[in-house]
Chains A and B, each alone.
Chain A
Amino acid sequence: MQAALWFWLPAIALVVGTGTALSSRSETIKNLSKSIAIIGFILVLFSPVTVPDSPSSAAGHLLGSIIGPCALLITGIYLLAFSGNVEVGKLSSTDRKIGSACTFFGLIWLEGMHWWTWTPMLNGEVNPYWLVFWPTFLILATGLSSGAAFSLRYLGDSREKESNFMLVISSLTFALTVLGMMLDGPNISSEIFRDHFWLAISDIFGLGIGVGLSILVFALVIWIYESSLPPAKSLDAPSQQELEQAASIISNHIGGEQE
């Protein structure tokens, strides 16, 4: 009951509030939804304090642990992107330096959670959700960065340098995953990391295939219905009289006046 009140209710408020804030057209509902989402988020963050005995509070603990590096990373990338060559709202060169520092320290902080002693620990053990988050993030980052690199190369025009930059990011996250599989960290051994790597891969491919299959089924339903629709009624061919009328109208509108 305590977990439902202090974790599940705020978690539902966070998800529903965010969804409504993003989709609603009314400003009043938007502001109300934002407030509900923020209150829900704060209560989820505090769930390890409010319901320490509930296993669900580990998710709140993880959110609290990674909010720092994630915020640094998001802020850093935002500052870097908008201090470059943008036409409108360009940020200063100081912002670019701050952005570089934020991105660097955000990445170091995240890496320190695996390779150093900053791992999110709950009751003396590694937070189980960190073992879901970290391999999932690395696998998705390497795949999506590689996809972005090839999109730039094939869909973009003269974007080879940008494509190479994205390949470097993909290779970096790929290398970090491989290192995690081979070398032990202070709190997470390579064997545990590999176990959770397989579970993360199972989750990603399972969800992807499940969603893909459901789209396929509904595409099939729509295809069956669309192919069973009767063809649009076509008009009869024009009669001789209609053709002559059309020809006289056309002849009156071409050629122009003779000077």
Chain B
Amino acid sequence: MSEVAKTWKVIVMAISVPPLLLMIFAAILGDDISNQAFKRFGNALITGYTFSTGLLFINMFFYADSRQRPLAPLFGMLLATIFGTLITLWLLSQGDLLLEENGSVRAQALSNIVRILVSSLLVSSLALVMAVVVSVGGVFVAITSRPNRKLFEEE
């Protein structure tokens, strides 16, 4: 494995290990992963997949145009729909995905869109922005707080 691939693996692990440790800690405190958490995971996965697929689908038109492959968006949409259906069927086979306030799949889909707009786009995005401010801002503060390093020794 190349050095670059190793470095990226370490960085991805560094990002995911603290949340995983927190999950282990919460489990040690006696928490079972609740049915509600699984439902939220399933709904977040499907909603994230649907939103992201929609955005990437628009990009397929640009790809089709630049590479002279007019059927690329259609093929992409077909594959994305098949894959999305398989994910949804797999999640449904693991348990009910309807949150308790919603009585039907259509109500759940609408609720997901509303929740993703309010909860994810406004609140979770704000949390993400603030976390990025703290982590990236922290890096800048740390770098600029040190005295300038000598790049070359004077002769």
A contacts, CB < 8 Å to B: 11, 15, 44, 56, 59, 62-63, 66, 70, 73-74, 77-78, 80-86, 129, 132-134, 136-137, 139-152, 154-155, 158-159, 161-162, 165-166, 169-170, 173-174, 177-178, 181-182, 194-195, 197-199, 201-211, 213-215, 217-218, 220-222, 224-226, 229
* Chain B proximity of A23: nearest CB distance (Å): 14
Give Cα distance in the complex from A90 to B79, angstroms. 52
Q: Report the 3 A-B pairs with minimum CB-CB distance, sorted nearest first.
A: A206-B44, A210-B48, A84-B144
B83 and A217 within 8 A (CB) = yes
Quick one: closest B residue to A211, CB to CB?
B52
Q: Which residues of A contact B128 (CB under 8 A)?
A: 136, 140
Q: Which residues of A contact B102 (CB under 8 A)?
A: none
Give Cα distance in the complex from A82 to B140, angstroms. 9
Size band of the B side of the interface? 35 or more
B124 at the interface (CB under 8 A from A): yes
User: Which of these, B51, B63, B114, contacts A222 with CB under 8 Å?
Assistant: B63
Q: Which residues of B contact A162 (CB under 8 A)?
A: 139, 142-143, 146
User: Which of these, B26, B33, B41, B146, contacts A206 with CB under 8 Å?
Assistant: B41
B122 and A11 within 8 A (CB) = yes
B2 at the interface (CB under 8 A from A): no
A182 and B18 within 8 A (CB) = no
Q: Which residues of A contact B120 (CB under 8 A)?
A: 203, 207
Check A225/B124 contact, CB under 8 A, given A77-B138, A178-B22: no
Quick one: closest B residue to A69, CB to CB?
B130
B127 and A133 within 8 A (CB) = yes
Give Cα distance in the complex from A177 to B119, angstroms. 20
A161 and B14 within 8 A (CB) = no
Q: Which residues of B contact A149 (CB under 8 A)?
A: 14
Q: Which residues of A contact B22 (CB under 8 A)?
A: 139, 142, 174, 177-178, 181, 197, 201
User: Which of these, B53, B122, B139, B140, contacts A217 with CB under 8 Å?
Assistant: B53
B123 at the interface (CB under 8 A from A): yes
B26 and A194 within 8 A (CB) = yes
Q: Which residues of B contact A206 (CB under 8 A)?
A: 40-45, 47-48
A155 and B41 within 8 A (CB) = no
A161 and B124 within 8 A (CB) = no
B14 and A15 within 8 A (CB) = no
B29 and A181 within 8 A (CB) = yes
User: Which of these, B44, B131, B143, contacts A141 with CB under 8 Å?
Assistant: B131
Give Cα distance in the complex from A151 to B11, angstroms. 6
Give Cα distance in the complex from A145 to B7, angstroms. 16
Can you sample 15 A-B contacts with CB below 8 Å?
Answer: A11-B118, A80-B145, A84-B145, A133-B126, A137-B130, A142-B19, A144-B131, A151-B14, A174-B21, A181-B25, A198-B31, A211-B52, A218-B56, A218-B59, A218-B76
